[in-house]
Each structure stands twice: as C-alpha cells, then as structure tokens.
Structure 1
Amino acid sequence: MRRLVPTGDPRSPVVFAQDTQPVAAPDEALIKVEAFAPNRGETFLLEEPRLDLVPGKDVAGLVVQAAADGSGPPMGTRVVGHPAMGGWAEYVAVPTHSLAVLPDDISAVQAAALPLAGITALRLLRAAGALAGRRVLLTGASGGVGHYLTELAAAAGAELTAVTATPARGERLLELGAATVVQAVTDAHGPFDLVLESTGGADFPVALSKLLPGGTLLWFGQASRTPVTLNFFDILAGPERAVIRHFHYAGAPYGQDLATLVRLVVNRRLHPEIDRVLDWSRTAEVLVDLRERRIRGKAVLTTGAVR
C-alpha cells in the first residue's frame, strides 16, 4: 500500500512510499482511509522528524476488517477515527475505542475534519465549566480548534471575543456566533471571565491581564512557537487571584467524543470549517500552507477511495 512519509525537507515535508498493510491488534479495526486532515502541530514534528514518525491522526473511511475481539463496528461500516499515528496512508489500524460510526448524511471529508480539533474544543469547554453569560476571550481563533470553540461556546451562551490575524479570517467566526473579532489581543475589550489562550509568546501576558479578578486562563497551545515570559510584578498589579491552567486534549478513549461531534454535525449544531479539499498527492503543499498559517479552519486530503 501507499503511505506518506517524512522527508525532513520543510519545502516538501512528505513523499509517497510503499509499505506493508498494517496488521490490526485484537482491539483494532482495519480502516480503508477515504480522507484525512493534518493538524498544524504535526507540521512541526515534520521539521526534524524522528525515524519512527508515521504521521496521521485524523481519518475517515471504511472498516474492511472488524476487530478480532468483537468490539467496535462490523466490516463495511463507515467510521471516523483518531489513531495515535499512521493515518496518512491507504489503510490504518485504529483502536475501536477511538472510532465512531458515521451516518449517511455526513461525508468522509466532513468527518475527517473533526477528530483532533473537535475533541480539543469539546474537552476544553468541559474544563472551562458553565459558559452561559460569561465573557470569553479566544486567541488564535481562526484555526480548526478555534472555529469549533467559537460555535460551541456561543451556543452555550458565552459572549466570545475572537482574536484573528486579519478581518477576513474572522468573518466566519462572526457567522458562527462570535460577538466580536479583533486582530490583536491588545484590542480586546475586557475584562473577561475566561481566556482560552493558544498562541503563547507576547500575547499570553496581555491576555492574562484582561481577566476579571478570580478569572481563569486555560492555556492550550503555543502557536507562535515563542516561549512565554511573565513578570511577577505585572501579574501582581493585574487581576487578583487569577488562575492559570495548562490544558492538553489527549487521553483515550476518543470514541464517545467523536460520536458527540458526529451528532452535533447531524443536528446542524456544529459546522466543520474546511478551507480546502484536495487529492492527497498535494499533501506536501497543504502542510506548508498549514504551517505558515495560510489555511483557515481545516484542510482535508482525499485518497481517491471516497464513495
């Protein structure tokens, strides 16, 4: 079978290679991949790839071999999955606890855009607690996670201010329920009950300073790739009793959250924002554009197996 493997060249991060079809563990289903979606964090791993790196975490496709232990969906079922690795290939083995069944009215392209970004948004908002009536600041809002966070937070009753690099990148966020879109954290009119911070660098202390006394900052990314520097005396002069919490989405099982995301899409309460859909022969150029933040929302690659 064909799979995409790292090159170590930032100008063309992956190439096709021949590989053996994966052998599924007893609690894994073998999936024929129809579509997959890369994530920006994966582009960083490709810059100096480990020898054992086999990328690909967000997939949708068809079960061609059910799990031997009887768990999970039967052969012929359409699914969305979140494997630990290996999804940029014709076939991937996925633990059944990280799969959800797809109804006919969700395409493989829509489904592939859901896993990492959607699960992150769901789990982040659970960590945040009740949102009705709360003022929320979201940095780095125009990526895949940001679009899901905006729609879900607005639906939960939050008054959300989104920070994007350009007004054009914020237009869809307004349609999804953002109350305000600004182009810099300094332009956000606080104070806020909650800050969802994903950029790090110089934005972090500015965002922190916009909290209400006793407010919470959930730190879930560092898209700027610049370390955060905090001045104790600035914090002392800022919001009293501010809470800074680190957040990371990871922790299987993922299947229940995937099923929730699928249900929300079916009920038209969640709308995957897909900037482009291309054949997987163009994965390398998509990865470069994703790394350089030229993609709004998600990009999805198709293997030619989409029904």
Structure 2
Amino acid sequence: MKALIPTGDPAEPVVFADVPEPTPRPDEALVRVEAFSVNRGETFKLEKPVPSERPGKDVAGLVVQPAADGSGPAGIARVVGHPMAGGWAEYVAVPTDALAVLPDSVCPLTGAALPLAGLTALRLLRAAGPVLGRRVLLTGASGGVGHYVTELAAAAGAEVTAVTRNPERGTRLAELGAAEIVHDVADARGPYDIVLESTGGRALPLALARLARRGTLIWFGQAARTPATLDFFDFFSGPESAVIRHFHYLDADTRLDQDLAALVRLTAEGRLHPEIGRVAGWVDTATTLTDLRERRIRGKAVLTLS
C-alpha cells in the first residue's frame, strides 16, 4: 500500500513509499483511510523523525476489517480514529478504544479534523474546571485547538479573550463566541480566572501576570518554540498566588472513544464547528505541512486520499 514516510528534510518533510499493509492486533480494526488531518506539532517531530515510525494520528475512513476480539464497530462502518502513528496511509490499524462511528451527517473531512485538536480542547476545559461566568484568556487561539476551545468555552458560559495576531482570524474567533480579541498578550486586560497558554516564550510570564488572585494557568503547548523564563518575584506584579499546571491531552480519566464520540455528537448537532483552513489531496501533504509549520493555515488542514 501507499504511505507517507518522513525524510528529515524540512523542505520536503514526507514522501510516498510502498509499505506492507498493517496486520491488526485482536483489539484493532483495519480502517481504509478516506481523509486525515495534520497538526503543527507533527511538523516539529518530522524535523527529527524516529527511524521506522510513520506519522499520522487523525483519520477518518471505513472499517474494512472489524477487531477480532469483537470490540468496536461490529461491521463495515464509517469512523473517525486516533491511532498513535501510521495514519497517513491507505490503511491503518486503529485500537477500537480510539474509534468513534461517524453518522451520515458528518463527512470524512470534518471527522478527520476532530481527533487531536478536539480531544485537546475538550480535555483542557475539563482540566480547567467549571467556566460558567469566569474570565478565560486563551493564547495561540487561531490554531486548531484554539478554535475548539473558544467555541466550547463560550458555549459553557465563559467570557473568552482570544489572542491572535491575525485580524481576520480574530473575526472568526469572535463569531465562535470570543468576547474579546487581542493581538498580543500584553494587550489583554486582566485579571483572568483561567489562562490557557499554548505559546511559551515571552507570552507565558505575560499571561501569568494577568491571572486573578488564586487563578490557574494551564500550560499546554510551546508553539513559539522558545523556552519560557519565569521569575518567582514576577508573581507579585500579578496575582498574589496562582497555580501553574502542565497539561497533556492523553492524561485523562475518560477513554479516547468516549471523547471522540462526544466530539462527533456535538458536531452532528451543530454545536461544534471544526475550522478547516485547507483541504487538499494527499499528494500535497509535504507542501501543506510546510505551510502549517509557517502558520499560513488557519485552523485545521485536511488531506484526502480520493
């Protein structure tokens, strides 16, 4: 079968290769991939690829071989899946606890845009706790995760301030429910009960200084690729005390299939709107990865195999 494999070359991060079709484990279904999405974090990993590891975590397609242990979809089914690797291919084996069935009302393009970014947003907001009536500052808001967080948090009753450098993207975030758009963390008017920080570098201490007393900052990314420097005494220029929490989306009490199903349901009900900034054939994956890395794509990028 055809699959995309990493090259280690930033100018052309992936190329096509012929690889063996995967042999599913008993708790895995074999999925024929119709569409997959790519994530900015994956572009960073491709700079120093792990030998023999094939990329691809977000897929939508058709189950062509159900799991041998009887778990997951019992027959041919349209699904969205979140394998840990290998999804940029014609076929991928996906653990059934990382699969959710797609209803007819949700197309493969939309389904493929859901997994990593949607799971991160959903679980991030759970980690933040109740947001009804609370002021939330979100950095890096124009990426795939940011759009989901904005819409979900606003729907839950939060007053969201979204940070994006691009005015056009800010307009879309306002449409999704952001109460305020700022183009630099320094322009955000605190104090905020919750800060969701995904940028790192200079943004993290600036965001920290805008926390309310006993507020919580959840650090879930470093898109700037610049380490953050924190000074203990900087706390006194902002909150008297605060909680700084590290977050990774896979550290959760709920199963992937449960949360994928929740994201699919919200989308099918028109309560969640995946922001897809580019759709292209998978022959254009290398170019799309480069554009995503350089922030030339708003929201999600989805590649199709047809």
TM range (shorter): over 0.9
Residue deviations 1:196-247, cap 9 Å, x none? 0000000000000001110000100000000010112212342012110001
Residue 239 (str. 1) matches residue 239 (str. 2):
yes
Does residue 1:128 correspond to 2:157, yes or no?
Answer: no
2:79 pairs with 1:82: no
Q: For structure 1, which segment, 235-244 or 127-136, has the greater mean C-alpha deviation from structure 2 after superposition? A: 235-244
Counterparts of 1:216 and 1:293, CA distance in 2: 28
Residue segments in structure 1 that go unaligned for 5+ positions in a row = none
Counterpart amino acid of residue 293 in structure 1: R
Which one-letter code corresponds to 1:278 in the other structure? A
Q: Distance in 2 between matches of 1:231 and 1:245?
A: 16
Superposition misfits of 4+ residues, deviation over 6 angstroms: none
Which residue number in structure 2 is paired with residue 257 of structure 1? 259
Aligned twin of 2:208: 208
AA in 2 matched with 1:195: V
AA in 1 matched with 2:17: A
Q: Shift of residue 75 of structure 1? A: 3.0
Contact 2:2 2:19 in 1 (8 A): yes
Match of 1:50 in 2: 50
Alpha-carbon shift at residue 59 of structure 1 (Å): 0.2
Tell me the distance in 2 between the aligned counterparts of 1:77 and 1:233.
56
Query: In the alignment, is residue 111 of structure 1 matched against residue 105 of structure 2?
Result: no
Deviation, 1:165, is 1.5
Q: Which residue of 2 aligns with 1:174?
A: 174
Alignment partners' CA distance in 2, 1:299 and 1:61: 16
SS at match of 1:244: strand
Deviation at 1:259, TM superposition (A): 0.1
Tell me the residue number matched to 1:34.
34
1:227 aligned residue: 227
**Unmatched runs of 5 consecutive residues or more in structure 2:** none
- SS of the residue 1:130 aligns to: coil
**Do the aligned residues in 1 keep the contact of 2:29 with 2:93 (CA within 8 Å)?**
yes
Matched position secondary structure for 1:228:
coil
Distance across 2 between alignment mates of 1:78 and 1:166? 36
What residue number does 1:296 align with?
Answer: 298
Aligned to 2:73: 73
Is the 8 Å Cα contact of residues 212 and 238 (structure 2) preserved in structure 1? no
Work out whether residues 6 and 46 of structure 2, in 8 Å CA contact, stay in contact via their aligned partners in 1. yes
TM-score, normalised by the number of residues in structure 2:
0.98
Q: How many residues align?
A: 304
**Could you list the per-position Cα deviations for residues 164-211 of structure 1 after superposition, in whole angstroms to 9, with x for gaps in the alignment?**
011112111000000011110000111100000000000000000001
Opposite residue 242 of structure 2, the aligned amino acid is A
Tell me the TM-score normalised to structure 1 length: 0.98
CA distance in 1 between partners of 2:97 and 2:234 (Å): 45
Which secondary structure does the structure 1 equivalent of 2:93 belong to?
strand
Matches of 2:233 and 2:303 in 1, distance apart?
Answer: 48
Separation in 1 of the partners of 2:168 and 2:104?
33
How much does 1:251 deviate?
4.3
Tell me what 1:192 maps to.
Answer: 192
3-state SS of 1:269 partner: coil
Assess if the C-alpha contact under 8 Å between 2:235 and 2:241 holds in 1.
Answer: no
Residues 63 and 74 of structure 1 are in contact (CA less than 8 Å); yes or no, is this contact kept in structure 2?
Answer: no
The equivalent residue for 1:275 is: 277
